């Protein structure tokens, strides 16, 4: 798909018209006969008039969804060019088009050939502001779609080494520093938690560290940490077969951090940003870590393992310790993980659970998510749930003694690996709900959504 920014209507094969309730429609009589009332996600193609009408719920995200519905309808036709009016909603329209146009057909033996469409996006006046919004939105959307590709890729084609290779490519493309660490480093630096999770896999674990430094003055220092479980079988606490399907999506947090680093560099944001990913495969075998094992993390804390399927928090524990030991004077730490099914049970498939010790900061992250078009809400820590992850034989247990509040107790577990001076700078984002959904929703396709990227970029832009 090719996007053109234009000031006046140019000749196009078809118009995509977004309908809001107050809109006066030239084809009102025909639309009424077709029972089109402009409801959210409704769409009709008037072939003779060469117009695609799309309903909209009159919100910013409604505009994104409407643009996505429009481009999907266009792709069902042989029309090559289309026009759509954006004006003050330029960002939303571009995101809807770019994110709604995404497809993943890597594994189809007979790929449907889709001829490239050209979309003329009409605004009243093209100033430098519009040009900047256009380019920024395209860059961020491309990064989101890259994350979708990573997450959708089958586990046999995307294991820790491949994830590290993708990080190296992103680093080369964006002039980032890139460091890849493995088992020898884990052993030498007391990182027994991450080392244990991946040791039964034939694919060696990797810790990926990308660093972006802006060309101008550095305003803040940000750390982004991602859970990159390229596949999670559950380990010896083996998942039921139905629950094992879609576990290629357990790399969504790490993949999102890769996408964030790509977007941050392309936007030249004025922050020093470190992207740290624990790329690990949790498998079974004679060398697998076991329930009843006691692991020692990089900060010296001991962890009683009672369930090897609560492995993401073990990987993140060492990644968070590594980040705080290697990077000084951090302003913000954000981690991203498909960490718990409990988050999905609690807030649904489409919403990210935001946690931390700093209520004001968690609210800011939620607001950034909502402003960017992602759904998010806060889940509060409390001292009573903190007691449920205490261990009688080690410092801490990797699962709670209660089945309730599992998303929060997982977040509280991670808090044990945040240094006191960073407690109020840290935010945990459980993206288990929106990261991978087995149905199309809004402008998101079946499968990976690229959750976390737009939210984080919005948060950084507003600092």
289 plus 342 within the same structural domain: yes
Task: Indicate whether 65 and 162 sit together in one domain.
Answer: no
Total domains in the chain come to: 2
Task: Tell me the C-alpha distance between 418 and 103, whole Å.
Answer: 39
* Domain boundary, last residue among 53, 84, 101: 101
Look up the CATH number of the domain holding residue 336.
3.40.630.10
Beta bridge partner(s), residue 45: 52
202 is catalytic: no
- Position 134 scores a pLDDT of 98
Distance between CA atoms of residues 292 and 79, nearest Å: 62
Average of pLDDT values for 284-302? 98
Residue 299 lies in a domain: yes
Give the CB-side neighbour count of residue 415, counting CA atoms within 13 A. Answer: 21
Give me the CATH number covering residue 55: 3.40.220.10
Please give the pLDDT value at position 22: 56
234: tokens are 């559950």
Q: Is 199 within the bounds of a domain? A: yes
Domain limit, last residue, from 101, 129, 153: 101
Confidence of residue 115 (pLDDT cuts 50, 70, 90): confident
Q: How many CA atoms lie within 13 A of 149 on its CB side?
A: 14
Let me know whether 93 and 142 are in one domain.
no
Same domain, 188 and 72: no
Pairing of strands 396-397, 426-430: unpaired
- Whether residue 169 sits in one domain with residue 43: no
pLDDT tens across 427-460, in order? 999 999 999 999 999 999 999 999 999 999 999 9
Note whether 459 and 260 are within 8 A (CB): no
More confident residue, 216 or 168: 168
Is 113 inside a domain boundary?
Answer: no
Residue 314 lies in a domain: yes
Q: Which of 298, 313, 425, 454 is catalytic?
A: 313
One domain, residues 81 and 160: no
Question: How many Å apart are CA 353 and CA 404, to the nearest integer?
Answer: 15
Q: Give the active site residue among 213, 219, 221, 239.
A: 239
Q: Across residues 402-420, what is the average pLDDT?
A: 97
> How far apart, in whole angstroms, are the C-alpha atoms of residue 61 and residue 440?
15
The domain in which residue 333 lies consists of 138-461
Residue 124 lies in a domain: no
Last residue in a domain, options 86, 101, 116: 101
> Comparing C-alpha atoms, which of 238, 240, 347, 222 is closest to residue 282?
238
What are 223-261's pLDDT values in tens digits? 999 999 999 999 999 999 999 999 999 999 999 999 999
Q: Looking at the structure, tell me whether residues 202 and 344 fall in a common domain.
A: yes
Q: How confident is the model at residue 25 (pLDDT cuts 50, 70, 90)?
A: confident
pLDDT tens digit sequence for 336-362: 999 999 999 999 999 999 999 999 999
313 is catalytic: yes
Alpha helices in 109-231, H assignment, sequence order: 128-152, 160-174, 183-188, 192-198
User: Is pLDDT above 70 for 23?
Assistant: no
Asked if residues 72 and 96 have their Cβ atoms less than 8 Å apart, the reply is no
In terms of domains, do 282 and 402 share one? yes
């Amino acid at each position: 798909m090719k996007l053109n920014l234009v000031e006046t209507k140019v000749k196009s094969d078809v118009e995509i018209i977004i309908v809001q309730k107050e809109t006066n429609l030239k084809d009102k009589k025909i639309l009424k006969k077709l029972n089109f009332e402009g409801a959210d996600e409704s769409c009709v193609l008037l072939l003779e008039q060469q117009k695609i009408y799309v309903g909209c719920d009159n919100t910013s995200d409604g505009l994104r969804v409407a643009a996505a519905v429009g481009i999907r309808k266009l792709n069902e036709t042989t029309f090559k060019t289309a026009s759509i009016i954006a004006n003050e909603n330029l960002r939303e329209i571009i995101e809807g088009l770019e994110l709604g146009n995404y497809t993943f057909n890597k594994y189809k033996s007979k790929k449907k050939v889709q001829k490239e469409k050209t979309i003329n996006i009409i605004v009243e006046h093209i100033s430098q502001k519009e040009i900047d919004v256009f380019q920024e939105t395209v860059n961020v959307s491309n990064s989101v779609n890259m994350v979708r590709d990573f997450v959708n890729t089958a586990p046999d084609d995307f294991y820790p080494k491949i994830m590290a290779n993708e990080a190296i490519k992103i680093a080369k493309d964006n002039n980032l520093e890139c460091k890849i660490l493995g088992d020898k480093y884990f052993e030498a630096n007391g990182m027994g938690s991450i080392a244990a999770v991946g040791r039964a896999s034939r694919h060696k674990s990797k810790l990926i560290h990308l660093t972006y430094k802006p060309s101008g003055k550095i305003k803040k220092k940000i750390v982004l940490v991602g859970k990159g479980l390229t596949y999670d079988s559950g380990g010896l606490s083996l998942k039921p077969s139905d629950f094992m399907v879609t576990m290629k999506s357990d790399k969504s947090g790490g993949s999102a951090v890769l996408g964030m680093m790509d977007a941050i560099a392309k936007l030249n944001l004025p922050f020093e940003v470190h992207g740290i990913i624990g790329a690990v495969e949790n498998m079974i075998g004679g060398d697998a870590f076991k329930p009843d094992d006691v692991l020692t993390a990089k900060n010296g804390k001991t962890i009683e393992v009672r369930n090897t399927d609560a492995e993401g928090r073990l990987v993140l524990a060492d990644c968070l310790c590594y980040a705080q030991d290697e990077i000084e004077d951090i302003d913000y730490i954000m981690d991203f993980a498909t960490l718990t099914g409990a988050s999905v049970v609690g807030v649904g498939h489409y919403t990210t659970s935001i946690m931390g010790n700093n209520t004001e900061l968690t609210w800011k992250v939620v607001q950034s998510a909502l402003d960017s078009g992602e759904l998010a809400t806060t889940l509060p820590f409390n001292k009573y749930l903190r007691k449920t992850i205490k261990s009688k034989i080690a410092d801490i247990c990797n699962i709670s003694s209660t089945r309730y509040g599992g998303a929060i107790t997982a977040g509280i577990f991670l808090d044990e690996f945040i240094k006191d001076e960073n407690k109020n700078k840290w935010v945990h984002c459980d993206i288990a709900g929106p990261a991978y959904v087995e149905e199309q929703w809004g402008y998101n396709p079946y499968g990976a959504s690229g959750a976390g990227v737009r939210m984080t970029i919005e948060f950084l832009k507003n600092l």
